Amino acid sequence: MLKIFDPVLAALLQVPGEPRDPSGDAEDVLTFKAAPGFYRYRLLRGAVLPAIAFGIAVVSVLAYSRLHRVPDQLGWLAVVETVGLTLAGIRVLMSFLLVGLDYRYRWYKVGQQSLRIREGVFNVREMTMTFANIQNMGITQGPLQRLFGIADLQVQSAGGGGAGAPGAERDVAAGMHVATFRGVENAAELRNLISERLRRYKSAGLGDHEERDRDLTERSDAQAADRRELLIELVREMRRLRLVALGRAPSPPASQGP
């Protein structure tokens, strides 16, 4: 029912729509969203639990005041109760709206050569990571995530391919950049899919830029060495001819006919 407010909120917050597909064959781009359990998980963490905590705080203040018979000549207890419950209700309503907007405007895309993630409502974060730079993948799942049947797939990159763009989390200890598919229910299958496409990418010769660069460098070094040897031999021959011209060195023996 609250979905009817999505277009209005998205327009007010200027939330962009679906991002472009990553590079590669558009027919092979897998586009998907977070699992429905992620929406319930975010509601519990972002709306229900804070509202319960706020309500407990309000009730505790009122209970303490009545237990200790704090005088209420100005009726402030009724004001605290009214304001507290009103704020709790507004907090829950806004959380429902923003969590729903974040869930429906969250995009995950996996192509043949790279992946793309866009998330966020107030601060929209988007990043692209090419398969050539992927170093590691891992799945994380906390107790609440297990309850809702979801997990996070983290893809780590050593740099490049958008790893330094906004939205790329930085793992300082490992010196890596991290892209996270949050709240997916098939994290292991998604990891296997990316691994398979990564193998295809490298076997097709698209991911061996470093090897090609190394081969080109070695070939260039070999050619430079050959040129140096040729120049050295040429200088030696010119010096010998100069000495011959000055009469300081024997001239080369004349070739005799058969």
Can you tell me the distance from the alpha carbon of 113 to that of 216, in angstroms, rounded to the nearest whole number? 23
Can you tell me the distance from the alpha carbon of 112 to that of 131, in angstroms, rounded to the nearest whole number? 8
Which burial class, exposed, middle or buried, applies to 47 when counting CB atoms under 10 A from its CB (0-12, 13-18, 19+)? buried
User: Is the pLDDT score of 36 beyond 80?
Assistant: yes
Supply the DSSP string of the chain, one letter for each residue: -GGGGHHHHHHHHT---SPPPPSS-GGG-EEE---HHHHHHHHIIIIIHHHHHHHHHHHHHHHHHHHTT---TT-HHHHHHHHHHHHHHHHHHHHHHHHHHHHHT-EEEE-SSEEEEEE-SSS-EEEEEEGGGEEEEEEE--HHHHHHT-EEEEEEESS-TTTTSTT-EEETTTTEEEEEEEEES-HHHHHHHHHHHHHHHHHTTSS-HHHHHHHHHHHHHHHHHHHHHHHHHHHHHHHHHHHHHTTSSPPPPPPPP-
User: Is the pLDDT score of 192 beyond 50?
Assistant: yes
Q: How confident is the model at residue 89 (pLDDT cuts 50, 70, 90)?
A: confident
Can you tell me the distance from the alpha carbon of 92 to that of 70, in angstroms, rounded to the nearest whole number? 30
18-32, 49-63, 114-128, 202-216: range with lowest mean pLDDT:
202-216
Angle at 31 between CA 30 and CA 32, to 5 degrees: 120
Using a cut of 0.85, tell me whether the model's pTM lies above it: no
How do residues 96-146 score in pLDDT, each as one tens digit? Answer: 888 888 999 999 999 988 999 999 888 899 999 988 889 899 999 999 999
User: For residue 129, which phi and psi values (nearest 5 degrees)?
Assistant: -125, 120
Percentage of residues in the chain having pLDDT higher than 90: 26
User: What is the reported pLDDT for 82?
Assistant: 73
33-37, 60-64, 107-111, 176-180: range with lowest mean pLDDT:
60-64
User: Is the pLDDT score of 245 beyond 50?
Assistant: yes
User: What is the reported pLDDT for 179?
Assistant: 92
For the ranges 31-45, 68-82, 203-217, the maximum mean pLDDT occurs at: 31-45
User: What is the reported pLDDT for 160?
Assistant: 46
How do residues 150-188 score in pLDDT, each as one tens digit? Answer: 999 999 987 544 444 444 555 534 456 899 999 999 999
Q: In the structure encoding, which two tokens stand for residue 251, read together? A: 């001239």
Sign of CA dihedral 71, 73, 76, 82: positive
Q: How confident is the model at residue 148 (pLDDT cuts 50, 70, 90)?
A: very high
User: What is the reported pLDDT for 165?
Assistant: 44
